[in-house]
Amino acid sequence: MINHVSIIMDGNGRWAKERGKPRVYGHMEGVASVRAVTEACVEWGIPWLSLFAFSEENWGRPQEEVSRLMELMAESMVKEKETLLGNGVRFRVLGNRARLSPALDAAITKLEEETAGGDKLTLIVFLSYSGRWDIQQAAERMAAEGGKDIADYLVTAGVPDPDLIIRTSGEKRISNYLLWQAAYSEFVFTDTLWPDFRKESFRAALDEFASRDRRYGKVK
Ligand code: IPE
Ligand code: IPE
Ligand code: MG
């Protein structure tokens, strides 16, 4: 059984470009893929799904694309709220939340509170997240508090490490995602662009994961 699947959702811009459309068109279509994989996790009994939606580095994109992405996030939370509640989904956003607009941050907190009772799936959206930022902020807080275990200070404290990390669009890199947490994650890379990644592609990635032999440094 797989406990936590994480996805680096990549290729929206190229998907739009192939169709002669602006990049934001790919991001909009990508929301339908988010819905599809979320529903599949509920249906297949996978308790944790996390999605890399926006990195700390992505703030360096053109202002218009950044604001459209933030708007899309806000709109999607409104549109999907009832579905999340109806499906028993607990929604969380992890990342450098201080960089979000106060309005978006407040809307996120509200939805997190409203869905806190969801007991089928925890859906984590990594927004304004980077692995090095996370380790840095954890180290600073741990030093200030005299703590011992860095995992307790990462924004993912209490979240199981991902068993599987899927990256779409053919890129084979981690792009500053879950650097600490991915220590023993399996990786599946697919050429499928994120807006085309639906249930069948997800099933195929899970089948590939099922064929892997995880040894954690030991001898089996
Ligand atoms: C992923 O798609 C979404 C974000 C990183 C916000 P991209 O926007 O990176 O699409 P490509 O990689 O340029 O095709
Ligand atoms: C990684 O995709 C970040 C997200 C999917 C949110 P990018 O498109 O930003 O990564 P690079 O630039 O190809 O490494
Ligand atoms: Mg990309």
Per-residue pLDDT at 197: 99
217: pLDDT confidence band, cut at 50, 70 and 90?
very high
Residue 77, pLDDT score: 98
- HEC letters along 155-197: CCCCCCCCCEEEECCCCCCCCCCCCCCCCCCEEEECCCCHHHC
pLDDT digits (tens, 9 = 90+) for 174-207: 999 999 999 999 999 999 999 999 999 999 999 9
CATH number for region 4-210: 3.40.1180.10
Q: Which atom of ligand 2 is nearest to the CA of 171?
A: 13
Which ligand 1 atom sits closest to the C-alpha of 14?
A: 14
pLDDT score recorded for residue 53:
98
pLDDT on residue 64: 97
Ligand 2 contacts CB of residue 10 (under 6 A)? yes
Q: Which of 7, 9, 12, 196 maximizes ligand 1 atoms within 8 Å of its Cβ, making it the mutation to test the pocket?
A: 12
Q: Whose CA is nearest to atom 6 of ligand 1?
A: 54
Q: Does residue 149 carry a catalytic annotation?
A: no
- Rounded distance, CA 150 to CA 4, Å? 20
Residue at token pair 């939340």: 97
What pLDDT, on the 0 to 100 scale, is given for residue 149?
98
Phi, psi for 116 (deg, rounded to 5) = -60, -25
Quote the ligand 2 centre to 190 CA distance (angstroms): 14
Ligand nearest to the CA of 55: 2
pLDDT value at residue 55: 99
Q: How confident is the model at residue 97 (pLDDT cuts 50, 70, 90)?
A: very high
In this structure, the number of other CB atoms found within 10 A of the CB of residue 11 comes to 25
Active site residue 58: yes
In 3D space, the residue among 156, 96, 95 whose CA is nearest the CA of residue 122 turns out to be 156
pLDDT of residue 148: 98
Q: State the pLDDT confidence band at 123, using cuts at 50, 70 and 90.
A: very high
Ligand nearest, relative to CA of residue 173: 2
Instruction: Provide the residues around ligand 3 (an ion) whose CB is within 5 A.
Output: 10
Tens of pLDDT, residue by residue over 41-54, are: 999 999 999 999 99
